[in-house]
């Protein structure tokens, strides 16, 4: 966001383009949504309640959010975003591991769907991977 306040193209700061502002709004809204999913799952765990569906939803959502948000960050920087001159390309590369490590996004979706359908519908134990 700081960079888009400084960078001027077509006599306009990048942050003053409506399309960029729409992205900022989506960015922040999704980050807040990810925080709420995460805190909700943590709260359930702390209370000793079942939380595997909620944890899988938080992991899935936040992993994909991180990949999407950091790709957007590169885009806001234009060509500079792609170079190692700014740290955003590194953040984009690092964020990808969230969709793979500690249970891939596909496996999180499998866990969530099992909870929604129940074990008798999926031929597996609810929550089992
Ligand atoms: C940098 C890095 C660090 C790591 N650190 C650790 C670590 O510290 N400890 C550790 O235990 N592991 C670690 N891993 C391994 C990581 O947990 C695995 O890569 C991950 O669980 C995916 O397993 P896999 O690579 O065997 O992929 P595969 O199981 O071969 O999956 C390949 C693709 O097929 C999909 N897929 C597989 N099964 C299904 C299915 N039933 N339904 C739908 N799609 C499916 C997967 O989602 C994935 O997209 C690390 C990996 C990396 C890259």
> Tens digits of per-residue pLDDT, 58-117?
999 999 999 999 999 999 999 999 999 999 999 999 999 999 999 999 999 999 999 999
pLDDT reading at 125 higher than 70: no
Distance 104 CA to ligand 1 centre (A): 6
Q: How confident is the model at residue 118 (pLDDT cuts 50, 70, 90)?
A: confident
CA proximity to 94, closest of 70, 62, 118, 119: 70
Positions marked active-site: 102
> Tens digits of per-residue pLDDT, 1-34?
999 999 999 999 999 999 999 999 999 999 999 9
Q: Does the CB atom of residue 94 touch ligand 1 within 6 A? A: no
Q: Does the CB atom of residue 123 touch ligand 1 within 6 A? A: no
pTM over 0.75: yes
Q: Where are the domains of the chain?
A: 2-122
Q: How confident is the model at residue 124 (pLDDT cuts 50, 70, 90)?
A: low
Where does 2-122 sit in CATH, by number?
A: 1.20.140.10
């Amino acid at each position: 966001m700081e960079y888009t306040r400084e960078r001027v193209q077509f006599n306009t700061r990048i942050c003053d383009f409506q399309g960029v502002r729409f992205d900022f709004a989506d960015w922040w809204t999704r980050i807040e949504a990810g925080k709420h999913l995460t805190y909700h799952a943590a709260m359930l765990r702390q209370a000793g309640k079942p939380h595997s569906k909620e944890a899988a939803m938080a992991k899935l959502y936040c992993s994909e959010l991180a990949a999407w948000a950091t790709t957007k960050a590169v885009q806001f920087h234009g060509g500079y975003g792609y170079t190692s001159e700014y740290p955003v390309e590194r953040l984009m590369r690092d964020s990808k591991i969230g969709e793979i490590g500690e249970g891939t996004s596909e496996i999180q979706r499998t866990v969530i769907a099992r909870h929604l359908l129940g074990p008798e519908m999926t031929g597996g134990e609810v929550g089992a991977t």
